[in-house]
Amino acid sequence: MLLSLVVHTYSLRYWFPATVMLGTAPAYILSWGAWRLLSTVLPARVYHRLDDQLYCMYQSMVLFFFENYTGVEVIIYGDIPKNKENVIYLSNHQCTADWIIADMLAIRQSALGHVRYVLKDGLKWLPLYGWYFSQHGGAYVKRSAKFNEITMKKKLQTQTKCGAPMYLVIFPEGTRYNPELKSVIADSQAFATKEGLAVLKHTLTPRMKASHIALNAMSDHLDAIYDVTVAYEGTLSASRQRRPAPSMPEFLCKECPRVHIYFDRVDIKEIPPEPLFFRRWLHERFEIKDRLLTDFYESEDADKIRTFPGEGKHSPLSLSKTLPSMVILVGLTLPLLLTESGRKVYVGTWLYGTLLGWLWVNAFP
């Protein structure tokens, strides 16, 4: 009986926030749809301005759960610019929670609504979310030979031509680093050896294609690249072996007490645009990440293990930036659930919104 209660209580840690985040999605999509319809006669710049505000509201609610609710301690090494910029965000990739880390940094720069993602193609099939991420300016890409450079470049240039602010999140490794997937790591290291690149231990070999296309497509629009290295505390076993990073459900279950984020801003003028030199530059950035993570997980020095170099600043997120958004979205959702007609609209938004979204995102990638 006691064990059952413990298991039930533990599962509620995840199901409560998941229910709110997923449950408010139809109300959010309906609000966005109404604005999209009204804005058809307005300049694209005006549409994007409010679209970014709506996206900021939803993602602020998400951060209420991932930060305020979990109580995770965010430690930032380096100085985040106070002013908003048009940037490409490059980070190591370990788990689904990595997407939330980008939001954590963006909200501290008041740029949360400007976050757009380069996502693997399969994620476009996510109900509602997959379609909306594309509408918000995200780009879906396929790996290796199936990568459509023209589609991605056109998508990004369309955004920049209408003046949409850009906080483009890219994970150059292409897939997640999991220390338990030895074959994936071995294949990545073999590729590096074949290409004459330094072999990496705590990240996968970065692929340059998406990052380079983004750089070229938005070269006149960008201010900088944010080079970000993330480590999750609690991923080092008692035997000093690295363990997998927490998934979103595990993160919401408060299994990660602390996140370490090493932030480095690189001015866009310092980045070589030529493919060969850019590839070398990108790999060198990942060599730096690999050294940072090697010290974090393996250092014999007590002052270096489980930390990054420099002064780590605890960066709490104020409830005033997240709680109002949750209250508004829950307030928009409840009327839909309290009446029969509202419930029909709610269910219809999930079903028809998902179906139409799938058709749209495949017809107009």
Q: What is the pLDDT of residues 51-81, one digit of tens each?
A: 999 999 999 999 999 999 999 999 999 999 9
- Residue 53 makes CB contacts below 8 A (sequence gap 6+) with 113
Domain count, the chain: 1
pLDDT of residue 363: 47
Structural domain of residue 234, as residue ranges? 1-330+342-363
What is the helix (H) or strand (E) element at residue 183, kind and residue range?
helix 182-194
DSSP track, 56-114: HHHHHHHHIIIIIITTPEEEEES---SS---EEEEE---STTHHHHHHHHHHTTT-GGG
Q: What is the DSSP letter of 268?
A: G
Tens digits of residue pLDDT in 249-291 = 999 998 999 999 999 999 999 999 999 999 999 999 999 999 9
**Within 10 A of 39 (CB to CB), how many other CB atoms are there?**
16
Helix (H, G, I), strand (E, B) or coil at 231: strand
- Max mean pLDDT among 162-166, 170-174, 333-337 falls in 170-174
pLDDT band at 364 (very low <50, low <70, confident <90, very high): very low
Beta strands 258-267 and 73-77: pairing type? Answer: parallel
pLDDT band at 354 (very low <50, low <70, confident <90, very high): low
Residue 336 lies in a domain: no
Residue 278 lies in a domain: yes
Residue 231 lies in a domain: yes
Residue 75 lies in a domain: yes
Is-contact 27 329, C-beta < 8 A? yes
Tokens linked to 272: 């070589």
Residue 337 lies in a domain: no
Q: What is the DSSP letter of 301?
A: S
Tokens linked to 264: 């480095």
pTM, whole model, 2 decimals?
Answer: 0.91
What is the helix (H) or strand (E) element at residue 359, kind and residue range?
helix 340-363
Residue 226 has pLDDT above 90, yes or no: yes
pLDDT of residue 144: 65
pLDDT of residue 3: 38
- Nearest Cα to Cα of residue 242 among 120, 92, 103, 104: 92
pLDDT band at 8 (very low <50, low <70, confident <90, very high): very low
pLDDT of residue 266: 98
Tokens linked to 200: 């990496």
Q: Can you tell me the distance from the alpha carbon of 324 to that of 327, in angstroms, rounded to the nearest whole number?
A: 5
Tokens linked to 107: 């909200």
Q: Can you tell me the distance from the alpha carbon of 191 to that of 197, in angstroms, rounded to the nearest whole number?
A: 8
Is-contact 100 179, C-beta < 8 A? no
Query: What is the pLDDT averaged over residues 10-22?
Result: 82
Is-contact 173 92, C-beta < 8 A? yes
Residue 74 lies in a domain: yes
pLDDT of residue 176: 94
Output the average pLDDT for the chain: 89
Cross-strand partners of 91: 228
Tens digits of residue pLDDT in 307-351 = 999 999 999 999 999 999 999 999 999 988 888 887 887 777 766
Query: What is the pLDDT averaged over residues 200-206?
Result: 97
Tens digits of residue pLDDT in 119-163 = 888 787 777 788 888 889 888 888 766 677 888 899 899 888 888
Higher per-residue pLDDT: 101 or 354: 101
pLDDT band at 6 (very low <50, low <70, confident <90, very high): very low
**Within 10 A of 298 (CB to CB), how many other CB atoms are there?**
15
- Residue 323 makes CB contacts below 8 A (sequence gap 6+) with 64, 68
pLDDT of residue 130: 81
